[in-house]
Amino acid sequence: MTAAHPLRDRAAIAGIGATEFSKNSGVSTLALALRAVSTALGDAGLAIGDVDGVACHRVGDSVPAVLVAHSLGIQDLRFHYDLFGGGSASAGVLAGAAMAVATGQADCVVCWRAINARSEWRMGGTGRAAPDTPEYQYLVPYGHVTPPQHFAMFARAYMDAYGVGAEDLGRIAIQQRTNAALSPRAMMRTPLTMEDYLASRWIVEPFRLFDCCLETDAAVALVVTSAERARDLAQVPVLISGATYGSGHTWYSNHRADWTTTAAAAMSKRLYAMAGLGPGDVDVAELYDAFTPLVLLQLEDYGFCAKGEAAALVAGGTTALGGRLPVNTHGGHLSEGYVHGLNHAIEAVSQLRWAAGDRQVPGAEVALSTGQPGYVAGSSSAVILRRAS
């Protein structure tokens, strides 16, 4: 018997908060961050004076972590963590906060993602500078600039290798729309049929409109403190049982000739080992879904089925509410809204608190919440969360 990982169950999520999800917040990303953080602290039964650490991720599209700390009035900031990255970094923010709390660097870390992803800094290009990586010089001249284009290129290789077709992707979009109808926060709640899906316009083949996530103005926040302290606070503590960082495929990663398996395949082994759990223990999975095929890839690479079997798993109802492994119970980025991975984390916490209303997975004890599994960014991250007994 090997010793438990030193990070396992040491930190807990004690509070969650979210702003309205909209197409135009009308306020700054600083204001969004402050609103979500304030809500999360209230949810935890904590005050700003309890906070001594801040953590966020961004891609040149939001305010710096320390500016939020200063705006909160924190005088003696003990931990600050400002990850460059989109969805790939999202769970990594929680991992950083958990490490800070577990090592005594901080007692209480607020984590957030705040973006005006529709009204100000669209990922598709409007209003933003070229990403801060030299690799884009080899893409931009070909009109190959935006995430749907980049992910479509990777997705086709996967779809071709495993015979995944349009209806396989459509089932993901439809299932998540069904879930979103049960979420008061969700932006897209009109039911979607396969006919609607197949009739939707091409964005970039093999992606139709409904294969692509929303662009949303919103912030969400989570309060991370020690498992011990969380027991005395307002909510049922949600333990961070596992939290890992992983690699990924950049466009040109030499040594990564195969695009059809994500970096999550290697990372998930470490994640499960850290948590002392396996795929069979997961009751609900919130899988990063900027585009529909990422759900299939992660079902395979997080060990819920063998390679090439995810489409059949979804078609068989396993991932629907009421199935063995409900996935993206809030509607995900496709239908709830796009807060770059962290709205998945607050949904996971709601599920483990048994506070997810009509979309509650009965008795959920263990949740997986993932970041983008590594394409383009070259990095990935994920957490396994567990309801404290």
Partner 1 sequence: MRPVPTPDRDSRPWWEAMARHELLVQRCGVCARLRWPPRALCGACGSFEWSWEPASGRATVASWIVNHHSFGDAIPSPYVVVTGRLAEQDDILVPGGYAGPPDGAGLVIGAPLSAGYEDLEADDGRVWSLLRWQPLTP
165 binding partner 1? (CB under 8 A): no
Query: Please, which residue, 3 or 257, has the CB nearer to partner 1?
Result: 257
Contact 388, 239 (CB under 8 A): yes
**Has 81 been annotated as catalytic?**
no
128 binding partner 1? (CB under 8 A): no
Name residues whose C-beta falls within 8 Å of residue 169's C-beta, 6 or more positions apart in sequence. 206, 208, 211, 292, 293, 296
- Among positions 48, 157, 312, 355, the unique one binding partner 1 when judged by CB under 8 A: 157
141 binding partner 1? (CB under 8 A): yes
Ramachandran area for residue 374 (φ above 0: left; ψ -120 to 50: alpha; else beta)? left
Query: Please, which residue, 202 or 317, has the CB nearer to partner 1?
Result: 202
- Among positions 27, 67, 77, 153, the unique one binding partner 1 when judged by CB under 8 A: 153
What DSSP string runs through 122-151?
A: -TTSTT-PPPSSGGGGGTGGGT--SHHHHH
Of 17-25, 124-132, 182-190, 309-317: span binding partner 1 (CB under 8 A): 124-132
> Closest approach of Cβ 126 to partner 1, in Å?
9
Count of residues interacting with partner 1 (CB under 8 A): 38
Triad 309, 313, 318: Cα angle to 5°: 155
Name residues whose C-beta falls within 8 Å of residue 107's C-beta, 6 or more positions apart in sequence. 50, 52, 53, 78, 101, 225, 226, 229
143 binding partner 1? (CB under 8 A): yes
Please state, in angstroms and rounded to a whole number, the distance separating the CA atoms of residues 13 and 110. Answer: 10
42 binding partner 1? (CB under 8 A): no
205 binding partner 1? (CB under 8 A): yes
- Among positions 20, 50, 135, 196, the unique one binding partner 1 when judged by CB under 8 A: 135
Element (H or E) spanning 381, and its range? strand 380-387
**Has 302 been annotated as catalytic?**
no
Both ends of the chain: CA-CA distance in Å? 23
Name residues whose C-beta falls within 8 Å of residue 257's C-beta, 6 or more positions apart in sequence. none
124 binding partner 1? (CB under 8 A): yes
- Among positions 2, 75, 137, 389, the unique one binding partner 1 when judged by CB under 8 A: 137
Query: Please, which residue, 256 or 269, has the CB nearer to partner 1?
Result: 256
Of 114-122, 204-212, 312-320, 334-342: span binding partner 1 (CB under 8 A): 204-212
Residue 262 burial (C-beta neighbours within 10 Å; 0-12, 13-18, 19+):
buried
- Among positions 69, 106, 111, 203, the unique one binding partner 1 when judged by CB under 8 A: 203
Contact 347, 341 (CB under 8 A): no
> Closest approach of Cβ 215 to partner 1, in Å?
13
Q: Check 245, 288, 302, 375 and give the catalytic one.
A: 288
156 binding partner 1? (CB under 8 A): yes
> Using CB under 8 A as the criterion, what x/- string covers residues 237-276 for binding partner 1?
--------------xxxxxxx-x-----------------
142 binding partner 1? (CB under 8 A): yes
Query: Please, which residue, 255 or 363, has the CB nearer to partner 1?
Result: 255
Please state, in angstroms and rounded to a whole number, the distance separating the CA atoms of residues 283 and 384. Answer: 11
* Nearest alpha carbon to residue 206 among 175, 176, 177, 165: 165
Q: Which residues are catalytic?
A: 288, 338
Interacting residue ranges for partner 1, rule: CB under 8 A: 124-125, 130, 134-146, 148-149, 152-154, 156-157, 160, 201-206, 251-257, 259
